[in-house]
Amino acid sequence: MKKLAEKASILVEALPYIRNFYGKTFVIKYGGAAQTDEVLKSSFAQDIVLLNYIGIHTVVVHGGGPKISRTMEQMGKKPTFIHGQRVTDRETMDIVEMVLAGIINKEIVNLINSHGGKAVGLSGKDGGLIKAKKKLIKKFSPDSQTEEIIDPGLVGDVEEIDPSILHTLKEKNFIPVIAPVGYDREGNTLNINADYVASAIAGALRAEKLILLTDVEGIMDEKGNLISSIRASKAEKLIDRVIKGGMIPKVQACISALKQGTSKTYIIDGRVEHALLLEIFTKEGIGTEIVL
């Protein structure tokens, strides 16, 4: 009876959150261990399906860098990076699109559907969803004491989001699963950072929440302790001091989404089973909340 009572208390704790979030939209960036570990993959899909069954509209944006690199190597092409950005020639772009919009996207769609959801796979090219512009990397040269411009190839930044197709899918209660591939004004296909795509989509939809699943607990302070909540203005000041490496684009993505109208953003540990439910439906939550 005690265990049954504990289960009931969990449901009661979740009730006000279910009531508050009913009909709202959450954008979720899916990546890291949660995208490769079989147990975590299953718990993620269950979380997504549950959220939709209780009236929360979810939009999933996924990455897939490690699988792209493995596929490139299998095809005899060595991955090359500049400042963490994949150098993408036309042959590499074909591989990127095949892996992201084909293999990985359909795996996630099938995973969600196998748990009772209604997922639909998209890339940013579908319905004109993601219009992009070519990305150029600025690098300071100590030799010339000037800033150099580096061209990483078919790599883009989000220029504009047209959420029309997402609104249509929402009306029919489908779950969009989006590969971070866009197109530019000349019709070129561009590879885009998935964190920035999730941020731009959250902003365009005025989402209630943007949640980024990562392989770390969240943002840590100077002593290595988890920061449970932080204002965007303070987070910006911590970039390059405490916030470094791969965490920088995630924090920047959260701040950008907030400035575009997203209510709250989160960086959470996707290595924890049912991380989404723990963040959304418990008072303590997990990971780091970033707010304006």
Quote the pLDDT of residue 2.
60
Summarize pLDDT for 94-145 with one digit per residue, the tens: 999 999 999 999 999 999 999 999 999 999 999 999 999 999 887 766 666 6
Q: Which DSSP category does 118 fall into?
A: -
Ramachandran class of 218: left when φ > 0, alpha when ψ lies in -120 to 50, beta otherwise? left
Question: Mean per-residue pLDDT for 14-25?
Answer: 92
Whether domain 2-291 has CATH 3.40.1160.10: the reply is yes
Distance between CA atoms of 141 and 48, rounded to whole angstroms? 46
Report how far residue 270's alpha carbon sits from residue 246's, in angstroms, rounded to the nearest whole number. 15
Residue at token pair 């890291």:
32
The stretch 34-38 carries a mean pLDDT of 86
Residue 178: closest CA among 198, 159, 193: 198
pTM to 2 decimal places: 0.92
pLDDT grade for 22, boundaries at 50, 70 and 90: very high
Whole-number Å distance between alpha carbons of 199 and 188 = 22
Residues assigned a catalytic role: 29, 32, 65, 195, 250
**pLDDT level of residue 223 (50, 70, 90 thresholds):** confident
Please check the confidence at residue 33 and state whether its pLDDT lies above 90. no
Q: Report yes or no: 156 and 132 within 8 Å, Cβ to Cβ.
A: yes
